[in-house]
Amino acid sequence: MERTFVMIKPDGVKRGLIGPIITRFEQKGFHLAAMKLMRIDRALAERHYGEHQDRPFFGELVDFLTSGQVCAMVWEGQNAVANTRAIIGATNPVQASPGTIRADFALDIASNIVHGSDSPESAQREIALFFDGAPALETMYRMTGDGA
Ligand code: RTP
Ligand code: MG
């Protein structure tokens, strides 16, 4: 069983796409282990996307991520990292395969609706970054009442 971090970006929240996006992960068979709607500050956005700090689009990326509420989630299931990235689709919606979230809901690389961790190590780092201080995931899991 693997966990991954998925975040619906401000464009996805503003457009009312939380429901359809969650549906896709649930339909595939993943379990929603934790979720919160939040605004993130520049410091958190910069840490989250730290690997891109020297890229020309970094400032724009941080502006975008802090422009509205995001929906931070932890999903778990078999090969959760790779499988959720497949459901999300290629970074640039123009190149994303039909049926993926980015192909179906987005037009532009800068506003591509959703983030997914790119490795189990990134997932661990990002879950700690966004859910640190919250109740332990095991507690949230029990709160979902799915027989745990
Ligand atoms: P994400 O981290 O958001 O899940 O996206 P990703 O793994 O598919 O792509 P990544 O390389 O990590 O890029 C992070 C976000 O930066 C924006 N980006 N803009 N203008 C550009 O060339 C460019 N390249 C990347 C995208 O919004 C991407 O999601
Ligand atoms: Mg990435």
**Closest Cα to atom 10 of ligand 1:** 91
Contact 68, 13 (CB under 8 A): yes
Give residues with Cβ within 8 angstroms of 104, minimum separation 6: 98
Do 117 and 4 touch, CB atoms closer than 8 A? yes
Ligand 1 binding pocket includes 59 (Cβ within 6 Å): no
Q: Best mutation site among 71, 91, 111, 130 for ligand 1, i.e. most ligand atoms within 8 A of its Cβ? A: 91
DSSP string of 99-142, one letter each residue:
TSHHHHH--BTTB-SEEE-SSHHHHHHHHHHHHTTSPPHHHHHH
User: What ligand is nearest to the CA atom of residue 100?
Assistant: 1
Tell me, using a 6 A CB cutoff, whether residue 90 lines ligand 1.
no
For domain 2-38+71-143, the question of CATH label 3.40.50.2300 is answered with: no
Place of tokens 């549906």: 23
pLDDT in tens, the chain (148 residues): 899 999 999 999 999 999 999 999 999 999 999 999 999 999 999 999 999 999 999 999 999 999 999 999 999 999 999 999 999 999 999 999 999 999 999 999 999 999 999 999 999 999 999 998 665 655 565 555 554 4
Residues belonging to the active site: 115
Q: Does any ligand 1 atom lie closer than 6 A to the CB of residue 93?
A: no
Domain boundary assignment for the chain = 2-38+71-143
Compute CA 68 distance to the chain's CA centroid, rounded to the nearest angstrom: 15
Q: Is the ipTM of this complex over 0.90?
A: yes
pTM assigned to the model = 0.92
